Structure 1
Amino acid sequence: MDVSLGIVECIPLMEDLYYASIECDGVPLEQLAGERVGCRLEQSEGQAPGFLPQRHQLVFRSVPSPEAAPDDDTIQRVIYRTDLPYRPGHSSIIYPAELNRRPTTVGALGPYASLICGHQDYIENSVLLSAVQAVGSAARLREIREVAHTYGHRFRARSDGARNTRHRRTMLESISDGLSHLELELSYSVEAGGDIGTLVPALRVESFHNALYSTMGLTERSATIGQMLSRLSNAIAAELTSVESAEQRAGDRRRIRTVVAVTFVTTVTGTLSLLFGFFGVNAQQVDQSRSMFDDRYAPIYALIAFILASSLAIFGGMRLHERWSERRERGLLRTWETIHGLLAREFGTVMLDPMHMVAPPPNPRVPGTRPQPPDEEPQPSGTRTQ
């Protein structure tokens, strides 16, 4: 927008433009901007259409002579959009070195407005592109932050005591997949936008872009949100490990139940097969005229009982050996042993055990502490006593 006003007289216009409270032939500024870019602003979900809260104003002015360059007080009035004096030393305005190198050039940057004076047209166009990139990165950073907070709320609202681990795993996997997309978007849409020197090889443009990212706080905010995403990813990874452990325990229990059932069936069928196999053989030891519960067959029943008892004894012996091994392994590692025990084992350092420290016997050659006389002044060391 080209206006024929003084630089201080533009402050009320800048204020109206910042809050989009200006109309052109009865058309609001936001609608006019949307029509210029071919976008129809339609109200949806009960929200009025409009600009995003992230915005940055640029003020360009020509400087024909060094005397026409604005002073610090005028610059702060434009940057803060208020026609009031200020106290020097209390300002967040940044002056890039490359934009203020000559007497007729001025470059002052604030978080929401910048003043560029005395520069060529291609520098002003590059500065405009830089501001567009910075505002787009700030808007994208806000969206990433909101989505990250949504993921964090979903993660905190999860039910740890839910028995359905499949639902928990599905929820965690969806959040993890979304976080990977957010980290990629943060890298390419925000962090990569901080480097403009590879696209526009100009010192003044690069100096302006770096200062703009710094004064808008995009570098620090992107680092903070990156830490949020990283820590949330670590928390989700730990939760997935917990879910995997619960699923593994459930799988172990299923396998144990299956093994117990199969072992029981195998034991019963094996015993019955041995028994009926004996009675089914065509031998003289099997008398068809006798009952299977006759005392004559007591040895075969004793043999079967001996086999079952032997199997139970083997199982009990293995279980006792397992418990003995567990106690032995726990006894090898001291409960108080930490890094000091590791150093003692690896490097042979001396490790003092307070539980087994014994006071050495007194040495008669070393004199004890001389008692102080009760009613006299303390005597200096080396004074002979009578």
Structure 2
Amino acid sequence: MSTATRVVSVYNLTPQLAPPGDGKSIGSIIDIGTRQRFVEQAAHLLPSVVSTQRIAPDEYCGQLGALFSEVLLIVLQTVRGDTLILIEATAAPSTSTAQLRDYLTFMDASRDHITIGDQRLTERIADVLDVPSSASISVGYFHELVFAGGALADEILAQPTLATATLVVDRELRGPANHPSIFDTRTPEVLNLPGEAVTVHSRRVTVTAGWDRSVQDALTLVVLMVIGAFGVMRRSRDRAFRALKFQAAADTPSIAEARSVLARLAEELSEVQLDLSFGVEAYIDSVLLPGGRMQGYRHSLHDVVGIDAALVNTTRMVDRLVTVIQARSAVLDAAEQEARERRDRILSVLLGVGSTIAVPATLLLAFFSVNSSDVDDQASILDLSRYWPAYALAWIPFLTLLTVAMFLRNRVRTRMPAQTPWVTTGGGPGRTSRTPSGRGTRNGWG
């Protein structure tokens, strides 16, 4: 067990960035002991280390830096481009429990005012990642871990409620008469050994004493994955809403433009689904990192933060949006089909009219072009008093055919398909049941 107390604060950075190119394996900063092989094997799926910087305590957070003997800033990125910030501060021997509590509160409530020298933390990270300084850690979930050492660890092991009373419970959760409320705190059984080790956590803070560095790193890794998962879910919801808002505001006077907008919306949702798969689902179970202590802490932390319910709700939102896209795509398909049918009908009508006009005219021209005594080369072909029988023979068959076709077309009606009447089965003797023929029978009695 370490003689020094370490405080680890974990944040997620917004917005999403490009996936890292050549980051180091997370195994370079995390060592979970005998199960380290799982970290190495899953390194391509776990966050990678982009930057590690040692910060001089006198440059860290103004006067708060005097509480610590060493400060380490670590920047990580997931395979989907989500950035995680880990600040590890080692408390000086003179740091009191009350000062640690004030520091925990500051790191939560005033995270936008964390400074390194004359720069804000986000500005320093923007320089490291070469991104716009608009990056922020002000929104989203975060967590702090206090790995007690030395005298603080001895006090917590002797009086486990000390961790809950002074460090874990948020001040706004305190009950009447300023007594801390232990509601919404957890003590994972697998991480609590009477007299040997204590672990207590809430949604915001985890305090542990008596465990070696490998267990502490395992808890840190679980927190990193939870923070990353929450950041992905928050971004996924925002991304899906903005995509839907873009679709609603888009001016789509044509079917082609409407389909283009839907295609873009579908592409956005595909990215959201990939985010949920590789940024959330891959991180919230024990497939990548099995282990009894890690699993016990993971279940306990997931329960208090409600990550499983959040994933279900986020997935349901995305699924419903996919359903909306499919429904609107079906409407566009129907509109396109109707347009094609209208074009086909217009073409058919034009061809029919053309045939109706062309065929009789062809017959008449053929008649007048023959060398016969029935055709007087001195008379006009428009002389109906002389050639009316030829005109009648040329037009009457086609007019008759057209009349019969219109008559048969008007007889066609759209009919509802035949339906079988509802059959209601009685719940006991004496109740009437409707049969397909509509007659009543006495159920159970003939």
- TM-score computed with the length of structure 2 as normaliser: 0.67
SS at match of 1:2: strand
The answer to whether the 8 A contact 2:200-2:208 is kept is yes
Residue 174 of structure 2 corresponds to residue 91 of structure 1 = no
SS at match of 1:194: coil
CA drift at 1:142: 1.1
State which drifts further: 17-26 or 222-231. Answer: 17-26
CA drift at 1:120: 1.4
The answer to whether the 8 A contact 2:140-2:234 is kept is no
Where in structure 2 are the equivalents of 1:129-208 lying within 5 Å?
Answer: 129-157=221-249, 163-195=253-285, 197-208=286-297
CA 1:309–1:32: 2 relative to 1, 3 Å: closer
Correspondent of 2:142 among 50, 55, 72: 55
CA 1:65–1:80: 2 relative to 1, 3 Å: closer
CA drift at 1:212: 2.1
The answer to whether the 8 A contact 2:164-2:182 is kept is no
How far, CA to CA, are the matches of 1:216 and 1:83 in structure 2? 17
SS at match of 1:116: strand
Q: Structure 2: where are the runs of 5+ without partners? A: 1-88, 425-431, 441-446
Correspondent of 2:201 among 78, 86, 109: 109
Where in structure 2 are the equivalents of 1:226-375 lying within 5 Å?
Answer: 226-292=315-381, 293-323=383-413, 326=414, 329-330=415-416, 333=418, 340=423, 351=434
The answer to whether the 8 A contact 1:176-1:236 is kept is yes
CA 1:85–1:236: 2 relative to 1, 3 Å: closer
2:301 aligns to what?
212
SS at match of 2:397: helix
How far, CA to CA, are the matches of 1:97 and 1:268 in structure 2? 93
Larger Rg: 1
CA drift at 1:115: 1.1
One-letter identity of the residue aligned with 1:95: T
The answer to whether the 8 A contact 2:190-2:292 is kept is yes
How far, CA to CA, are the matches of 1:269 and 1:243 in structure 2? 38
How far, CA to CA, are the matches of 1:133 and 1:48 in structure 2? 20
CA drift at 1:290: 2.9
2:13 aligns to what?
none
Q: Structure 1: where are the runs of 5+ without partners? A: 342-348, 359-386
Higher RCO structure (Cα 8 Å, ≥6 apart) = 2
SS at match of 1:107: strand
CA drift at 1:77: 3.1
How far, CA to CA, are the matches of 2:317 and 2:190 in structure 1? 35
CA 1:220–1:288: 2 relative to 1, 3 Å: same
Correspondent of 1:2 among 90, 102, 123: 90
The answer to whether the 8 A contact 1:41-1:50 is kept is no
Provide, for residues 222-252 of structure 1, a one-character-per-residue CA deviation record: whole Å limited to 9, x for no partner.
Answer: 1111111111111111111111111211111
CA 1:203–1:7: 2 relative to 1, 3 Å: farther
1:370 aligns to what?
none
CA drift at 1:9: 3.6
The answer to whether the 8 A contact 2:186-2:300 is kept is yes
The answer to whether the 8 A contact 1:30-1:51 is kept is no
How far, CA to CA, are the matches of 1:322 and 1:234 in structure 2? 37
CA 1:357–1:53: 2 relative to 1, 3 Å: closer
CA 1:319–1:32: 2 relative to 1, 3 Å: closer
How far, CA to CA, are the matches of 1:339 and 1:154 in structure 2? 46
The answer to whether the 8 A contact 1:169-1:243 is kept is yes
Where in structure 2 are the equivalents of 1:65-76 lying within 5 Å?
Answer: 68-72=157-161, 74-76=163-165
CA 1:263–1:172: 2 relative to 1, 3 Å: same
1:366 aligns to what?
none
The answer to whether the 8 A contact 2:146-2:208 is kept is yes
CA drift at 1:117: 1.5
How far, CA to CA, are the matches of 2:135 and 2:399 in structure 1? 83
The answer to whether the 8 A contact 2:203-2:301 is kept is yes
How far, CA to CA, are the matches of 1:316 and 1:272 in structure 2? 22
The answer to whether the 8 A contact 2:156-2:162 is kept is no
Provide, for residues 129-159 of structure 1, a one-character-per-residue CA deviation record: whole Å limited to 9, x for no partner.
Answer: 2211111111111111111111232344467
How far, CA to CA, are the matches of 2:384 and 2:238 in structure 1? 84
